[in-house]
Structure 1
Amino acid sequence: MLDRILLKPGPLNDDEFELVRRHPEIGAAILGGRHASALMDLARTVALTHHERWNGSGYPQGLAGESIPLAGRIVAIADIFDALTSQRPYKQAWPVDQALDWMREQRGCHFDPQLLDRFLAIQPKILEIKLKFADRPSPV
């Protein structure tokens, strides 16, 4: 069901949007509770917290600042960069410069300021990795 929604070419209706907003909890539930594996615990943490925002306006828990686990804050940056710079059925890819400008504007609001600064400092390496693993060329 989520795939159908995520691949939908047009705008989401209210029910579809609500389901999308629940995907962190759904992912965490799929991964289950505490595991013997630290990697699976980390995966669950990332699934649950990658849509939290530094200013507390994210979801599903409305966590803010350093109450968001470090892994969730890191993946939030990578996830947004990938989402903005990749083509989706419902949108064109943004040029990298435009995406990075928007992300800079969101420093301290959407993103952990220190982590975003570190991401921006290694931008050439990020772009190298993006191009290496791209399904199709992206605007750089």
Structure 2
Amino acid sequence: KLLIEQDIPLDSADSDHRTALIHASRNDHYDVAKLLIEKGALLLPVDGDAGWMERTALMFASYAGDEDIVKLLIERGARLDLQDRNGKTALILAAYKGRSYIVRRLIYHGAPLDITDNMGYTALYAADKVCLGVVGILIEEGA
């Protein structure tokens, strides 16, 4: 709210090249994320063009396991096919963390199953290391 009240551009980044929306998305602050999006915060900025991972708000929320923010970002048009500096998508990150409920939501909304990261690994490979439930979902959906 302070950003809005002080008329600071919503997509300004901190010293880690992260916007307020990225901070809200990675720290389970749904109300803040919703307010920022309603006020015009961009969904596409990553954690800085010079940021260390170049992740979007959707990637952070998927990794953190915040289903409400993931749902909000998807409803507002967040892209499901974007990759971070290591080639990881929101789906790969959610699968790696064993977030079955987020994996289902991302797939339902069209997240590509066949994208590989820079090591050549898919979401199925990422899930295989941590969560058999996610492996089952991915296989069921055609991965």
Whether these two folds match at TM > 0.5 is: no
Largest Rg, 1 or 2: 1
Q: Of the two structures, which has the highest relative contact order with CA contacts closer than 8 Å and spacing of 6 or more?
A: 1
Q: TM-score, normalised by structure 1?
A: 0.34
Which structure shows the bigger proportion of residues in helix conformation? 1
